[in-house]
Amino acid sequence: MYFKLRTIALMVSLFVMSCGHINESSDIRDPHNFYKKGLSKPIAFDLDKIKARGTLRAIVFEGPTSYFLYKGQPMGFEYELLKHFAKYLDVDLKLIVAKNFDELGELLNTGEGDLIAHGFTVTLDRQKSFLFSDYLYLTKQVLVQKKPDNWRTMKLHEIDKVLKHDPIHLIGDTVTIRDHSSYKMRLENLMNEIGGLIHMNIVDSAISTDELIHLVHNGDIKYTIADNTIAKVFAYHFKDLHVSTPISFSQRASWVLRKNTSKLKAALDQWITSMKKRTDYYVIYNRYFKNRSSILRHVESDYYFNRTGQISPYDDLIKKYAEKLPWDWILLASQVYQESRFDPNAKSWARAHGLMQIMPSTAKELGIKNTANPEESLKGGTSYLLDLWKAWTSIPDYNERIKFTLASYNAGLYHIKDAVQLTKIMGGNPMLWDDHVEQAVLKLTLKKYYTLPDIKYGYVQGTEPVNYVKDILKRHRLYQSFFEEDI
């Protein structure tokens, strides 16, 4: 549904923008360039409170460099850096996926997120309302234009004659840009500098720069503006694009914070300074901005969620067999990824096999003849999950019961029953997983606990089921962030 609505919004925006040329009487100084007017007062929630909560809430965008799913795996320049920063702060990471640029200020100031992890250029107007981190990289804005249709048969000087190589040649022409963007502000300033009018077709802030670049490539619009880092990624694939005409000088690309988060900014700046001295930073940067063939293979792949709307090739099967479970298909997909990375031929050291990593003895009990068959694996795995769910009727809370069920799938029902018994012995709450039964599971790695008289099934490698539950639920939240308009 989200992708259909996005397409409709794009078509409507393109119709509306054809009527929206700016003229010389327009207000060309708009400090609200990536948020709507009427911005809320920033809440008081700095680094000390973030650490006390134990979670960094980061606002991100979907896109081929920032944050996306590929073969069910979250990826992206901002995403990878955020994982490092959260680890540096010793907190968990929660992502808030923004759908529109003009909602960013509200999401940040109301406390929905603690920072905006996106490479925004630092401007004087923006600094009036927000703090900016030390820059993560330098960029510049470039004109994205299409070469002539027959450019392959033309000589270089003939192609050059058709293209714009200086911004001054845009006077009297039309450029399509997103509302509330630094590109719009740059064009406004450019008109001042060159003393001439450039018509601006303004599209809704929900339309991404990536989509506008595709429209240039398709011939639907004439020009747009993009950061050179993004433009070069697409120009590597779309050979008919020219992205070498600069519209700005070098600019700092930084993350955005609330005005009253000086402690968070100090920690972030210190981390950025340290991170940019490490090889890890340049490996991540090169992965998304330099290794263009790799990133575009992802984007054009059937496994690229942002384009296809699918987590895996088995979404339809997962949805089909999730219907028998008392939780959503996205949670089941999160578990399938954890088990097999969506590889139906995956095999573990313990001989578990298939999408759901079913053990040979379990397969025999469930009547599964071919564990490599995706449908058989999902049918058998979900049947087993349902049996485990029914085995935990003693757990009254729905979310807690899910954790016990998942842990049982990984470690075995009776090992988790042992952990419940050990929790009672230790004076914990046997109805709660976090900090109670999960701690008992960890202790069952130690001989002095798994040899107690009341423990019937012995040793467990406790970190496996504990991490299994945490990783699936964390991935479930990530997947939900992509589907939040549909669920």
The catalytic residues are 339
Residues 6+ apart with CB under 8 A from 281: 81, 275
- How far apart CA 249 and CA 252 sit, in angstroms, is 10
Helix (H, G, I), strand (E, B) or coil at 210: helix
The β-bridge relationship of strands 141-146 and 92-97 is unpaired
Rg (CA), the chain: 26
Provide the angle, in degrees to the nearest 10, between the axes of the packed helices 228-237 and 209-218: 40
Q: Which helix (H) or strand (E) segment is 96 a member of?
A: strand 92-97
Task: Find the Cα–Cα–Cα–Cα dihedral 352, 356, 360, 366, rounded to 10°.
Answer: 170
Q: Which letter does DSSP use for residue 462 in this model?
A: T
- How far apart CA 71 and CA 344 sit, in angstroms, is 13
Residues 21 and 174: beta-carbon distance below 8 Å: yes
Minimal CA–CA distance to 176: which of 196, 198, 202?
A: 202
Task: Find the Cα–Cα–Cα–Cα dihedral 261, 267, 268, 273, rounded to 10°.
Answer: 140
In our burial notation (b when 16+ CB lie closer than 10 A, e otherwise), range 52-66 reads eeeebbbbbbbbbbb
Residues 392 and 408: beta-carbon distance below 8 Å: yes
- How far apart CA 285 and CA 219 sit, in angstroms, is 31
- How far apart CA 229 and CA 118 sit, in angstroms, is 13
Distances (CA, A) of 293 to 143, 237, 238, 433: 22, 8, 11, 44
**Beta-carbon-side half-sphere exposure of residue 396 (alpha carbons within 13 Å):** 1
Q: Is the dihedral of CA 440, 444, 449, 450 positive or negative?
A: positive
> Residues in the chain, how many?
487
